Amino acid sequence: MNRIEGRDKVTGRARYAYEYPADGVAYAYAVQSGVARGRIASVDALGVLAMPGVLAVLSCAEPPALSADASPELALFQTRDVAYRGQIVAGIVAETLEAARAAERELRISYEAEPHDVRLRPDHPGLYAPDKVNPNFPTDTEKGDVNAGLAAAAVSIDATYATPTQHNNPMEPHAAMAVWDAGGALTVYDSTQGASADRDMIAAALGLAPERVRVVSPHVGGGFGSKGTTRPHAILAALAARAAGRPVKVALTRQQMFDVTGYRTPTIQRLRLGADPEGRLTALVHDVIEQSSTLVEFAEQTATPSRVMYAAPALRTTHRLVRLDVPTPSWMRAPGECPGMFALESAMDELAIAAGLDPVELRVRNEPDTEPESGLPFSSRNLVGCLREGARRFGWDHRDPRPGLRQEGRWLIGTGMAASTYPARRRPSQATAATADGGFVVRIAAADIGTGARTALTRIAAQALDTSADRVRVELGDSALPTASLAGGSMGTSSWGSAVVKACEAMLKDGHSGRADTTEDVKGDTGFARHAFGAQFAEVWVDPATGEVRVPRLLGVFAVGRVIDETLARSQLIGGMTMGLGMALMEETEMDEEAGGFLNRDLAQYHVAACADVQDIDAMWIDEEDGHLNPMGAKGIGEIGIVGTAAAVANAVYHATGRRIRDLPITPAKILD
């Protein structure tokens, strides 16, 4: 199948949040704090209100009405306190966007600045153990005697790895249009990864009943986690529309997105591994330090993949958090698994070298029979199959393990590999199916954020109805449709598809229509550890004179249950791997410790991988039957591609140069240092 919405997108008929028309529409522009910590002393808006086209100024000088239930990030203009540089402290509403931006430059806000702290460091006195890590995992876990396991090891590794602040950069900016009707109901056209949850959060912030709010979001130009929760732009649009008495559009600039739409927390991770003479682990310890804001506690689950991957009789994982004067971190593609597996898989590579073992063989020797932490049986686990097939396709057997030996012209050449994993989750969702116009219509408030959800759900519905796909129409992206879970956590297709199958089956029994709610089905998901697995292989070329790193070849082999649509799956997997390449070599947001804000806040200075950065990238999967997951037997594919890729590249850089770089990204300066 081609993508259902493909023609609409390439012809421009597909509308995104900012593109919806409205009579008398006005525009709002966010004003950001110029200090990293302190209080707003005064807001002088008189001159701005006299400017041509300006309709209103929103600020703490006259706080607009919001509910006490609004989260701190969404409680706009309710306090004079400033928690981070770039926080939204005012909003200008005007007839045109140009007028709003001109007025923003003239608005006078004075601050009582206070000393700020924006640097994550391992000896920070404010480090503490949070009650849980995202979304609800235990902060710390321990099994067996790790000290004895490390002491008894024939070979051991004790290394610290670091990942920097990284930012989601979806192609479509965070944007919204808010429209109030005469009865006080609100419609928000928002760029969101979940219309149902977005509706509920907007309603809670504004003190409205959820049925008084509708979120419309049929097309979304990427999210990568940053649109998984309601962001301040949507609340600003609603407040501005109420103040102006007319529809209002808000679109954050790329620079503003760096401050108020989340990011991946930087991490400092210490890995201690011990193994016996045959390379079998005797102990594994994974300690993580990361940051959050003073407004909201967000603790990324960075060490959780170490609880899943390898058989170790002694295992300990910990997370420590410090609250700094920075924006709140949030979800970014494969939160937890992505930075955590960079550290774990780099350490496993170092252990293989120290033990004189092939990195693939080391992982095979430490394959567990059950999930190491919980002891639960895996619903399916084909990591060894991915490792073996990947090694065969990549030509791994011909590799000389000694580093720094292979050279062609000015380039040093190396290869590396890493394993990957991601949970196979699903969440409650609802759907309806009915006969319509000689075919069928399926309705669910799912989100298509560019992944091809419409196409996947059409295929699932057609199979459940035993009909052709061209007789099925899927409606999604609207909170007025049956409630659906987020497009996130690699659980969209599993969650929505379960509800769609159940609704279609109910319709076949009824003859005309069917409704499904999978809440009870999801509650019954116990008794098995559910995870997807994979293996990534990378070839790198390094110029020892300049430190330039090129990645001519990337291969990923995955075990992700049943693949619903091969074209969509490959697109997601190679997209994740490309993002992992960017993580390895390019992506880093620098903090200005003196001013307290991010320095590189656009795509001219925050570099992401492009087509020219990898010459040959391929992803494939092995056949996997798993009847314990959902009616389709599918596992998520949106995030596992990024997991492991950065470690594979870093391990290949070591093989090429003999230089182990443990802090990302791997820049020319670090190669040459």
User: What are residue 442's DSSP bridge partners?
Assistant: 433, 474
* 3-class secondary-structure state, position 396: helix
Of 172, 232, 167, nearest in space to 201 by CA: 232
The CA distance from 329 to 86, in Å, is 14
**Could you write out the three-class secondary structure of 77-127?**
CCCCEECCCCCEEEEEEECCHHHHHHHHHHCEEEEEECCCCCCCCCCCCCC
Closest CA to 59 of 84, 33, 35: 33
Three-state DSSP class for 200?
helix
What type of residue sits at position 562? Answer: R
Find residue 160's DSSP bridge partners.
270
Give DSSP secondary structure letters for 582-600.
HHHHT--PPEETTTTEES-
The owner of tokens 């291969």 is 555
| Burial (0-12, 13-18, 19+ Cβ within 10 Å), 254 | middle
Cis peptide bond prior to 305, omega within 30° of 0:
no
Please give the Cα distance from 587 to 608 (Å, whole number).
6
639 noted as active-site residue: yes
**Rounded Cα gap, residues 660 and 91, in angstroms:** 48
Distance of CA 170 to the CA centre of its chain: 11
289 contacts 365 by C-beta, under 8 angstroms: no
> CA of 673: how far to CAs of 67, 268, 498, 546, 547, in Å?
53, 21, 52, 11, 9
**DSSP 8-state assignment for residue 261:** S
Token pair 């309705």 is at which residue?
443
Closest to 360 (Cα-Cα) out of 421, 417, 399: 417
Instruction: Report the 10 Å Cβ neighbour count for 14.
Output: 16
- Single out the catalytic residue among 337, 345, 350, 639: 639
Hey, which residues are catalytic here? 639
